[in-house]
Amino acid sequence: MSGSRIPMLHIQKIQNNMVGKHGIIDVKFEKSANKTILRNEFSRIPLKIIKPFYPEKDGTAYLTIISPTGGHVGGDKLEFRFNISNDSKALITTQGATKIYKSLEKSVLSTMEIKIEENGIFEFIPDPIIPFADSRYVQYVNVEMHENAKFLYAETIYQGRSAYGENFDYSLLELRLKVKMNKLPILNDALVIKPKANNMKNEGLFESYPYLGSFYIIGVSGEVLNEMYTDIDELLHSKEGLIGACSIFQNKGLFVRFLAESALILREYYFKLWNISRKYTLKKESIFLRKL
């Protein structure tokens, strides 16, 4: 696949002495008659996909990723490739949280390559990432999209397993996203959290908001983009226990990052952000994501 590539030197350092499983999901979506279908598909444990379903009348294909092993251990490599052909519409979600188990040395490495062709629509709306105590997780996402394509991408992160008293007890969480439109870079975002090197409750870090969310809406511009920004900015200032900010980049899209005091608030406003983004980008409302 063309476009920006994951920095191989960094990956090679992580992959040295890897002993975990190599999970793969490789799918291609195409429009056929009045709906989007899976033209090609391949998966390998510890990753698997469930047959697409169609809860919306516009033929959007909903695809669910599952992890039969329950979670991922240090040394696992997770490789995702999504190709959204011309005029196709696809949404990817997960069956449950992405659980990262304890690993004293090796990281779980996740790489995702996404290509969205002309008039394609791709939404990635997963459940949260939950890093267990002493876990390490590194994720790279590279996107190549047409200027007439639309891309909605979200991430939410818990501070650990709160039921077990975990509170930023993991070792590393590194998330990187690069987006190119018509082969030109429009977004390069990086989030690196090393709780053992910093006190996460310090001012300017998480303080009293241990739940983190990020939302990216790309493929909308002009007045519509400005109106969406206004609605999202108002949402982020509408409730106690929630703080956040949004930013427009290159008149191509909008980026949101927010913190919440509880998982309940995080989930509530994650859904509301998705609903607003769909309203302005796709001209439709969000629906309940059925978990099989």
pLDDT of residue 231: 97
Residue 66's pLDDT band (cuts 50, 70, 90): very high
Q: What is the mean pLDDT of the segment spanning 77-106?
A: 95
Give the tokens for residue 277: 């983004």
pLDDT digits (tens, 9 = 90+) for 201-227: 888 889 999 999 999 999 999 999 999
Q: What is the spatial distance between Cα 213 and Cα 65, in angstroms, rounded to a whole number?
A: 20
Q: What is the spatial distance between Cα 136 and Cα 8, in angstroms, rounded to a whole number?
A: 19
Please state the pTM of the whole predicted model: 0.91
β 253-260/129-131 pair status: unpaired
Averaged confidence pLDDT in the chain: 92
Residue 15's pLDDT band (cuts 50, 70, 90): very low
- The 8 Å CB, 24+ separation contacts for 48-56 are 49/25, 50/95, 50/292, 53/290, 55/287, 55/290, 56/284, 56/287
Number of residues written out for the chain: 292
Q: What is the spatial distance between Cα 3 and Cα 266, in angstroms, rounded to a whole number?
A: 33
pLDDT digits (tens, 9 = 90+) for 32-59: 999 999 999 999 999 999 989 999 999 9
